[in-house]
Amino acid sequence: MTRFGIYASAVALAAAGCTGTVGGTGVSTGTNTGTGTGSAGSTGITTGSAGTTGVATGTGGASAATCAASASLAPARIWRLTDAEYVNVVAQVFGVRVPAEVTEADTKPADFSNFSEAPALTAQSATVTAYQRAAHAAATAAVGANLGIFLPCGKAPTDACVQGFIRNRVARAFGRLVTDGEVQDLLAMYHTGLAESVAAGARMIIEATLQSPSFLYRTELGPQAAGGPTGKVKLTPFELAAAVSFALLDSVPDDELWGHAVDGTLATPAVLAKQVDRLLATPAAQANLGKQAGFWLGVEKLQSIVPKSATLFPAWTPAVQQDLYDSARLFVQDLMGTGTMGDLLSSRRMFLNANLAKVYGIPGVTSTDLQPVDVQAPGRASGIFTQPAILAAWSHPDRGDAVHRGLFIYNAFVCGPTIPPPPPNAQTVAATFPADATQRELATLRATNAAGCGACHALFDPLGLSTENYDPIGRYTTTDEKGQPVDSSATLRGLGPDLDGPISGLPDVVAKLKGGRRATDCASRNLAAIVLGRSVATDTSCAFQDVKDHFAQTGSFAEYFHAMLTSPGFATRDVAP
């Protein structure tokens, strides 16, 4: 029920501050060393709102020479299903789609939050009660719709028929074969329900299944060991199948993948690779990866913004906001399927309908559905950065926002040293700035004032200023809020030799990002958090290093997911001593 927005890492990092002398690339230690424990796993990607920390420490992580050779990509763990996953699995296994709010109100978070160790994923008492209700409702609906499919053996199903249902469906929900003992228990339960009806018996089996920890928690524990695993374990074929399937589809394995878990062939690298590629090519996987990557790329942020000022931006309507969100989702989804980092940073593609095209001044679009258009109009050549959805997401309702646009670019593509939260006097200092100051004037005030705001803001404000050609709803403009010609030049400092230096606008930022490994390494880190459910900011495994190297060479998102899911480190788990 609770989702805390402020996490442990902020405590120590605030003290570290932005010294301005922090290094750029390479192994970066120090800022995180010996810092607070607590909500481990809660950091990682955020889309850069002030007050939350972004991806921690420098871009390099381990280099090939120093990486940990046998380290796994995740610890041994159990991981409670999100509500979205619950809905997906119930639909897939029992054929009914239940309402989205299984355990908690759907609040459209801007940041990725499905970290296996996130406090929000620890069940509260109300969560368990909510599961009881959801299970009862889902089971009742499933039996009402599909009893004849579950028990296709007449009006008085035999025990063997019921056992068949248990061994088929319940196993799929559990992600493993059911034991003989479980079959007997569920069969006995069926007979209890039979006092009412066949349907009640089947309902009870499903109801029990949907409340069982075997369903509610994905396990990554390796072969069963009393007292839990120790050392390093290899995922069972069932666990590996689930890990791959949840990463790609946010649901349990489909029939073919399940078959390879049952016969154990998934442990064969060639079989695993083929399955990963098969699933990656499905629209369902691309849609899911697009949704998840949207947390990294600021798309989800658009769902929770304060609406733009109706006075200043009459063109901004709820319909435009929704269309923009859908448009950005499609842009990202498209890239996750067949695109590259190069496309992400410099594609001219936009998904437009007639209404959006009118608002953004793109000629020649008449469709009411969103269609891909390679836009030739000025200022739309920088991929994700020039998607109006993202520009609007990182703007105030009535004015620009160089700070958060800069932070977004910094957290999503630069992965420089962690930006601590603003100090306690930040609002007091900001209140002394002229009310009518432009974004550029504000940036100058922050960079030069005696309070020292520049120590941190100098790292990301210039990135934000490079987007000055876009108004708060993401329209391209050449005049600023005071009617003066837009100046989107700036000088990047403190980010590293690959980025530092003068820029004359967004295209220059993109050119610098495309010039080296900076952006791909940062993307690797952000995507890893999504796939692994943990922050890899301090990961030193060779497994992750190899994934990063491969992605840097190919730039292909499909290749990235392939490399990650077929990595030896993905198939094992380490147990903390």
Partner 1 sequence: MSETNVKGSTMKRPSLLSRHIPRRTFLAGVGTTAAGTLLRPLFASAAGASPTRLLIVHRPCGTYPVDFFPQTGDATNFTLPSILQPFTPVKDQMTILNGIYCPRDHGWAGDQHGAGLITMMSGKRPIEIPGTSSGGDPNAKNQQAAGLSFDQMMVKTAASGLGGTAVPSIQSTAYRPSSIGLPNFKVMSYDASGALFPESRPDTLFNNVFGASMPGLSAADLERLRTQNKSILDFVSKDLTRLRGLVPKSQLPKLDAHLDGLTSLQAKLTATVPSGGGAPACKGPAQATPPAQTGDLTIDEAQHKVVAQNQMAIILAAFQCDLTRVATFSFAHGNSALRFMKIIPGFDQTNGAGHHDLSHQMDRTDLHSLVDQFYSQQLVTMLQAMKATPDGAGTLLDNTLVVYLNECCYGWSHSIENMPLLMFGGKNLKLQTGRHLKFNMRYMNDVWAAVATAMGVPMNTYGDTAFSTGAVSGVFG
The footprint of partner 1 on residues 541-560 (CB under 8 A) is none
Least separation in angstroms between residue 77's CB and partner 1 is 6
Query: Would you count residue 211 as binding partner 1 (CB under 8 A)?
Result: yes
Least separation in angstroms between residue 100's CB and partner 1 is 6
d(CA 327, CA 356): 9
Least separation in angstroms between residue 329's CB and partner 1 is 5
Query: Would you count residue 213 as binding partner 1 (CB under 8 A)?
Result: yes
d(CA 207, CA 210): 5
d(CA 443, CA 492): 13
288-321: string of b/e by CB count within 10 Å (b at 16+)?
bbbbbbbbbbbbbbbeebeebeeeebeebeeebb
Take residue 288 and report the two structure tokens written for it. 């899911």
Query: Would you count residue 351 as binding partner 1 (CB under 8 A)?
Result: yes
Stretch near partner 1 under the rule CB under 8 A, chosen from 75-83, 160-168, 339-347, 475-483: 75-83
Contact 128, 171 (CB under 8 A): no
For residue 349, the surrounding DSSP H or E stretch is: strand 349-352
Q: Considering beta carbons, is residue 92 or 309 the nearer one to partner 1?
A: 92
Stretch near partner 1 under the rule CB under 8 A, chosen from 261-269, 282-290, 481-489, 527-535: 282-290
**Residues 41-70 within binding reach of partner 1 (CB under 8 A):** 50-52
Q: Considering beta carbons, is residue 84 or 437 the nearer one to partner 1?
A: 84
266-276: string of b/e by CB count within 10 Å (b at 16+)?
bbeeebbeebb
d(CA 466, CA 405): 9
Take residue 2 and report the two structure tokens written for it. 């609770």
Query: Would you count residue 92 as binding partner 1 (CB under 8 A)?
Result: yes
Least separation in angstroms between residue 324's CB and partner 1 is 12
Q: Considering beta carbons, is residue 42 or 59 the nearer one to partner 1?
A: 42
**Rounded (5°) CA angle 510-496-405:** 45
**Residues 331-350 within binding reach of partner 1 (CB under 8 A):** 333
Provide DSSP, 269-311.
HHHHHHHHHHHHTSHHHHHHHHHHHHHHTTTGGGGGPPPPPTT
Query: Would you count residue 316 as binding partner 1 (CB under 8 A)?
Result: no
Distances (CA, A) of 149 to 92, 142, 161, 281: 14, 10, 11, 29
Least separation in angstroms between residue 491's CB and partner 1 is 26
Take residue 321 and report the two structure tokens written for it. 């906001």
Q: Considering beta carbons, is residue 80 or 475 the nearer one to partner 1?
A: 80
Q: Considering beta carbons, is residue 353 or 572 the nearer one to partner 1?
A: 353
Query: Would you count residue 177 as binding partner 1 (CB under 8 A)?
Result: no
Stretch near partner 1 under the rule CB under 8 A, chosen from 1-9, 25-33, 151-159, 538-546: 1-9
Q: Which of 177, 284, 315, 429 binds partner 1 (CB under 8 A)?
A: 284
Q: Which of 81, 198, 279, 330 binds partner 1 (CB under 8 A)?
A: 330
Least separation in angstroms between residue 181's CB and partner 1 is 9
Contact 404, 49 (CB under 8 A): yes
Least separation in angstroms between residue 197's CB and partner 1 is 11
Least separation in angstroms between residue 349's CB and partner 1 is 13
Query: Would you count residue 575 as binding partner 1 (CB under 8 A)?
Result: yes
Least separation in angstroms between residue 229's CB and partner 1 is 6
Closest by alpha carbon to 215, among 77, 113, 86?
86
* C-alpha torsion angle, residues 553, 556, 557, 561 (rounded to 10): -60
The residues that bridge with 194 in the sheet, in sequence order, are none
Distances (CA, A) of 390 to 233, 290, 384, 395, 503: 41, 15, 7, 9, 21
d(CA 144, CA 156): 17
**Residues 107-146 within binding reach of partner 1 (CB under 8 A):** 107, 121-130, 132-133, 136-138, 140-141, 145-146
Query: Would you count residue 469 as binding partner 1 (CB under 8 A)?
Result: no
Q: Which of 85, 111, 207, 239 binds partner 1 (CB under 8 A)?
A: 207
Q: Which of 371, 489, 538, 554 binds partner 1 (CB under 8 A)?
A: 371
**Residues 473-492 within binding reach of partner 1 (CB under 8 A):** none
394-404: string of b/e by CB count within 10 Å (b at 16+)?
bbebebbbbbb
How far is C-alpha 440 from the geometric centre of its chain's CA atoms? 32
Q: Considering beta carbons, is residue 122 or 491 the nearer one to partner 1?
A: 122
Q: Considering beta carbons, is residue 109 or 507 the nearer one to partner 1?
A: 109
Q: Which of 14, 153, 362, 381 binds partner 1 (CB under 8 A)?
A: 14
Take residue 517 and report the two structure tokens written for it. 């490994």
**Residues 406-425 within binding reach of partner 1 (CB under 8 A):** 420-425
Query: Would you count residue 37 as binding partner 1 (CB under 8 A)?
Result: yes
Contact 261, 253 (CB under 8 A): yes
Least separation in angstroms between residue 64's CB and partner 1 is 30
Contact 232, 573 (CB under 8 A): yes
Q: Which of 19, 29, 70, 99 binds partner 1 (CB under 8 A)?
A: 99
Q: Compose the 499-528 pattern: x for residues touching partner 1 by CB under 8 A, - for all others.
A: ------------------------------
Q: How many residues bind partner 1 (CB under 8 A)?
A: 117
Stretch near partner 1 under the rule CB under 8 A, chosen from 20-28, 325-333, 355-363, 465-473: 325-333
**Residues 241-270 within binding reach of partner 1 (CB under 8 A):** 251
Closest by alpha carbon to 413, among 344, 350, 476, 351?
344
d(CA 532, CA 45): 12
Query: Would you count residue 98 as binding partner 1 (CB under 8 A)?
Result: yes
How far is C-alpha 387 from the geometric centre of its chain's CA atoms? 19
Q: Which of 28, 43, 219, 466 binds partner 1 (CB under 8 A)?
A: 219
> Which amino acid makes up residue 111?
D
Q: Considering beta carbons, is residue 146 or 540 the nearer one to partner 1?
A: 146
